[in-house]
Amino acid sequence: MYQYALFDLDGTLTDPKLGICTCVQYALADAGIEEPDLDVLEPFIGPPLQDSFQEFYQMTEEQAAKAVTKYRERFETKGLYENEIYPGIPDMLASAKQRGMKLGIASSKPTVFVEKILVHFQIREYFDVVVGSELDGSRSKKEEVVEEALKQLVTSGIKDYDKCVMIGDRRFDIEGAKAHAIKSIGVSYGYAGPDELENAGASYIANSVEELQRLLIGKEKLPPKDEKSSMQSFFKTWQVLFPILLYWTICNIVLIAGVFLIQVFLGTQENVTELLGIEGTGRVSVGLNALAMLTTIPFMYRMYRKDGNPPLTLQLKKSASVDLKKNTKKLPYLLILILGASVALALNMLLSYISFQNISSNYQETSAMQYSVSIPIGILVYGLIAPIAEELVFRGIVYNRLRGYFMTSIAIGTSAFIFGMYHGNIVQGTYAFLLGTVIAVCYTQFDTILVPILFHAAANISVFVITHDRNIERLFNRPLNCVIFVIISILTFWQLMKIKKD
């Protein structure tokens, strides 16, 4: 295990894309250069700004210095906080400190800005030293920053440099480590280009915060530490369960208020089912559930973003992107829709063949209520509202928090189990667990919340439309069709993993 660890900031501990790229855009506009696409400006994340303006826009030294000044004009007031901490980072830093490691920051960003960002995200306490560049342009090269950070961090002298490691997302971090003969870990979840870290000579590659934690401190769990350890376990459990409790509470408040208002409108306190009939009650229930889920979305999205997750966007992470110049930008999303529909239909057929639906009377009642509405209404509720609300909670918040505390495989299984338990009956619970497992795997690969939302939407719509009419369901529900959908699922999943690998 390492004794000392130096971390880059941008792209390693935090995702600074919006802040940095918008400020670069602002500086370029001042120089008469219009660049509307922030993605084009991603190479500015990591290296010294002065060098980047000269390299990417052929500016002279004087022009680049003026652009840096203009960049900082916006950055120090606004861009500084247009930043998100990667999920799992605080927990990883805390674990490293509890194991006795000394941690430091070695960033090309000016030290004054680094300090403010660390304080803003409440992780300053974990670092023994913080070293960045100077506002006057000195100590801007990565090897100079690493040298100063090592001098401050490793007080016992150069003899202990073999116990050090540098962690970063760009080749400059790896080269800075090599200049002082220390090991390096390149993190591919940042902003490195294809094979950039490998070509730079990184000692190890971490594809996620979880993998980085294992490389730094191993797989073993922390030994119990009396009351503090118990409190940490309680806090983690509460962090995972609280969003579900909040979601459930909001939904029930809306449902109870809805029933009360209906009774007031009808001018009676009698049972709504007796007044509206079974079919009418089913439609009202679907409507109230839709309203309840809609109400939760702003709260859940706020919590999701507060955790440091990226906004809902059509842009895939760089590590999972495809060649946008070849109009293949939408291919992964199309495959996700196909995979969601094929997996859902295959699972429904398999469960139908073993008569699994018949073991729960609760499921029969829930199913009757769901199918009491027309296809257009069902598509709106089950194909749009429900996927957004449920995926924000169960994948966007719960799964991401679990992923920050445990290995990915454990996080996938646990989040899927919670998703299944939430449905309240063994039939829907089993289906939701299996579906939730596949959704979480896809989410892990592409790391944008749009993936689980689209998967969930395709699954719900395909099943609802096919099974809405019992005659169509009987014609469709054949062994050969089940086999076909299983094959489609396997091939589509394989193609998605191939895109991820490429």
Distance in angstroms (rounded) separating the CA atoms of residues 7 and 85:
14
Phi-psi region of 163 (alpha: psi -120 to 50; beta: other; left: phi over 0): alpha
Distance in angstroms (rounded) separating the CA atoms of residues 390 and 453:
8
CA distances 181 to 63, 106, 129, 278, Å, are 35, 16, 20, 75
CA distances 183 to 102, 233, 374, Å, are 15, 33, 62
Residue 267, token pair as written in the block: 């001018």
Residues whose CB falls within 8 Å of the CB of residue 454, separated by 6 or more in sequence, listed in order: 333, 336, 337, 340, 387
Task: Exactly one of 8, 91, 169, 447 is catalytic; name it.
Answer: 8
Q: Is 172 helix (H, G, I), strand (E, B) or coil?
A: helix
The secondary structure element, H or E, covering residue 103 is: strand 102-110
Whether 8 is catalytic: yes
Q: Is 473 exposed, middle or buried (0-12, 13-18, 19+ CB in 10 A)?
A: middle
Residue 483, token pair as written in the block: 């086999």
Residue 470, token pair as written in the block: 């019992």
**AA letter at 191:** Y
> Do 402 and 210 meet the contact criterion of CB atoms below 8 Å apart?
no
The secondary structure element, H or E, covering residue 3 is: none
CA distances 211 to 183, 237, 283, Å, are 16, 22, 48
Distance in angstroms (rounded) separating the CA atoms of residues 72 and 116:
14
Nearest to 110 by CA among 49, 195, 63: 49
Degrees, nearest 5: CA angle 263-268-272: 50
Residues whose CB falls within 8 Å of the CB of residue 83, separated by 6 or more in sequence, listed in order: 14, 15, 16, 18, 19, 117, 120, 121
Q: Is 60 helix (H, G, I), strand (E, B) or coil?
A: coil
Q: How many CA atoms lie within 13 A of 383 on its CB side?
A: 16
Q: Would you please indicate which residues are annotated as catalytic (active-site) residues?
A: 8
